[in-house]
Chain A
Amino acid sequence: EIMQLHHQKHHQTYITNYNKALEQLQDAVTKGDSASVVKLQSAIKFNGGGHINHSIFWNNLAPVREGGGEPPKGSLGWAIDTHFGSLEALVQKITAEGAAVQGSGWVWLGLDKELKKLVVETTANQDPLVTKGANLVPLLGIDVWEHAYYLQYKNVRPE
């Protein structure tokens, strides 16, 4: 139920509103209407961010029979052990930070592509990870908006 609503309603709405905002932006740019251009940035950031973030999110999830939950091997597995000590430690950190997000937002495992370091970050609302650092590449994002879990977990986000 959550997956269907999340995909068909929430993500679709971000896309619809993003398209609309881009159309209005094009119009405003053509007209040289700077007030509107600036005013539209909030809608573009929010809805564009919503589209970006959820597109990543669907790829971050997989059914168990397709390998969902299998610990990372290869270089990422090694990097996680190096930077966080163990996968368990990383999971604990992401869980703690995700639970602590005040209001709506996301918790991320990111890669700083300049420093080649793994980081755990949170963003508010639909801010993409890049708003926390221009060099940050999202590897894994977890939606901690209430719509992502409420029907099943109610108020218990840590579950």
Chain B
Amino acid sequence: MALRALLSRKTLGLSQGVVQNQLRGLQTFSLPDLSYDYGALEPAISGEIMQLHHQKHHQTYITNYNKALEQLQDAVTKGDSASVVKLQSAIKFNGGGHINHSIFWNNLTPVREGGGETPKGSLGWAIDTHFGSLEALVQKINAEGAAVQGSGWVWLGLDKESKKLVVETTANQDPLVTKGANLVPLLGIDVWEHAYYLQYKNVRPDYLKNIWKVINWKYASGVFEKECP
């Protein structure tokens, strides 16, 4: 997912020769389409959840992210540092929500598209090396995901510097990179209650147990191979 805000600088020369930089062309973000139907991940994740999660939750993060970026541009232009700093919370939360969910939709795929098929190639080998087996990794991710206090995410990440695989959790909509600048997300699982409650109620562990049936290891492998060719 390309999430670059394109800011082009235009220099305006004013009457006294004072040069002022102005930020223009703020890119607005839009909801990415899923490459599968809402119901295609059943019975692991219900179509009702997928639709709400995509059309309501993710869309709201995007709407609020765009709004915050607009307000930020305005505040930067005005030199209003108090507002610039105040907006960082909304940008982190909503921008993070957009980033995380965009990854998440790619991490899932219907069974008939390969959902749940174990990772082959170099990622499969790396998992065995770092965790002993895929089962061990799944157990670790499930344990850490279940233990998240409140809202957050559980990740399989790659430290692109050490080339090591890691399991990490982040709170709320914090992206994986907040846990380490070198961390690249291969696979993220949303453990906010909205991700599972309508179907699994309070039993987050059941959601975690079942989601592996629709995990798109091909996508994770692709990201891994790009960083570790």
Contact = CB atoms under 8 A, between A and B. Distances in A.
Interface of A: 5, 9-10, 13, 42, 46, 102-105, 124-126, 145-147, 150-151, 154-155
A104 B198 CA distance: 17
A92 B171 CA distance: 28
A42 B171 CA distance: 14
Given A9-B202, A125-B150, A102 B57 contact: no
A155 B194 contact: yes
A49 B171 CA distance: 18
A9 B173 contact: no
Given A146-B151, A155-B60, 18 more contacts: A9-B201, A10-B202, A102-B93, A103-B150, A103-B171, A103-B172, A104-B193, A105-B150, A125-B149, A145-B150, A146-B197, A147-B193, A150-B193, A151-B197, A154-B52, A154-B198, A155-B52, A155-B194
A124 B150 contact: yes
Most buried by A among B149, B192, B197: B149
Nearest to A156: B56
A53 to B, nearest CB: 12
A104 B194 contact: no
19 contacts: A5-B201, A9-B202, A10-B202, A42-B149, A102-B93, A102-B173, A103-B171, A103-B172, A103-B192, A125-B149, A145-B150, A146-B151, A146-B193, A146-B197, A147-B202, A150-B198, A154-B198, A155-B52, A155-B57
Nearest to B97: A102
Contacts, number: 52
B114 interface: no
Contacts of B173: 102-103
Interface of B: 52, 56-57, 60, 89, 93, 149-152, 171-173, 192-194, 197-198, 201-202
The 6 closest A-B pairs by CB, nearest first: A146-B193, A103-B151, A104-B150, A103-B172, A125-B150, A9-B202
Contacts of A146: 151, 192-194, 197
Most buried by B among A102, A105, A124, A125: A102
Contacts of B202: 5, 9-10, 13, 147
A109 B218 CA distance: 50
B149 A103 contact: no
Most buried by B among A10, A42, A104, A126: A104
